[in-house]
Chain A
Amino acid sequence: MRKLFFIDCSKAAECCNKSQYKEAKPLDKMKLFLHLTFCQACRKFSSKNSKLTEAIKKSKIQSCSEEQKQAWREQIKKEFAEDNV
């Protein structure tokens, strides 16, 4: 019984991270919830972690496409080589 429902802090952290990406299984989420009721350290981590997710969502960071990055890399390489002739 204990083994079924109790998880250690590293397992709790993993589940907490997965749930930031909606990849935690329902049973694991339950175990996390139970763990959080008695573990203050993980509660603290969990709240920071959610705050981070919130901040990232709010910031609307975008990344530019890999093709564009490759084009810039080549452009810089080419110009850099010409400048140093």
Chain B
Amino acid sequence: MPANELDPNKWVDKYSDYLFNYTIVRVNDREVANDLISETFLAALKSAKYFKGEASERTWLISILKRKIIDYYRKINSRKGKAEVRVNYTDDYNEGEWLEEQVPDQFDRTAEDEMENNELGLAILECLDSINEKHASIFKRKTIDGADTETICNEFNITPSNLWVIIHRARTALAACLEKNWF
């Protein structure tokens, strides 16, 4: 039995925020990001039979998404004409190379910071995956969406004091996970 198995019905709940944050910093357009993720899910379903279970589901989905993003830039560049933006692609889709060439020199520093912050965001989302699913959703609603305590309590049918206990557990677990993997 392979170490990792695919469970497409859970992809959206488990990975969509991760895939979205990975994409948005690279394409800077919500609609484009959403389309690329749709394409990624479809391509993943089509090639599910080739999944060997060596990588994690997430890593595998990201590798498909990366290709979709590169294809997207290829399309844009060929539409714009070769003179305007030249991007050297390598056939094995070396991460980073294509992006670096996109960005004019004076933005290098900002872009680098942005990428690092984005990676931090992905690390946070990855850590959230390892905690209780319901706690993670409540934490996200509160912290990332900035939803009201009252709204969340209604959505999940919990009391405010339940909410703060859950937030406490989530924050403690998250801080420990980040400490191990990031800081």
Mark A residues whose CB is within 8 Å of B: 13-14, 17-18, 20-21, 23, 45, 48-49, 51-52, 55-56, 58-64, 68-69, 71-73, 75-77, 79-80, 83
Contacts and interface: CB of A to CB of B under 8 A. Distances in A.
Contacts of A59: 117-118, 120-121, 124
Top 4 A-B residue pairs of the complex, sorted by shortest distance between their CB atoms: A59-B121, A61-B121, A59-B120, A64-B20
B45 A64 contact: no
B58 interface: no
Given A49-B175, A76-B8, A80-B8, A61 B164 contact: no
Nearest to B31: A68
26 contacts: A13-B168, A18-B164, A45-B172, A49-B175, A52-B171, A55-B124, A56-B143, A56-B144, A58-B117, A60-B121, A61-B17, A61-B21, A61-B144, A62-B20, A64-B33, A68-B34, A69-B16, A72-B12, A72-B37, A73-B12, A75-B42, A76-B11, A76-B45, A77-B9, A80-B8, A80-B9
A65 B12 CA distance: 12
B92 interface: no
B84 interface: no
Interface string B78-90: 0000000000000
A58 B142 CA distance: 17
A60 B121 CA distance: 7
A17 B178 contact: no
A54 to B, nearest CB: 10
Contacts of A68: 16, 34
Contacts of B120: 55, 58-59
Contacts of A17: 164, 167-168, 171
Contact of B175 (A48, A62, A64): A48
B179 interface: yes
Interface in B149-182: 149, 164, 167-168, 171-172, 174-175, 178-179, 182
B107 interface: no
Contacts of B167: 17
B179 A64 contact: no
Contact of A62 (B21, B117, B174): B21
Nearest to B19: A64
Interface string B112-123: 000001101100
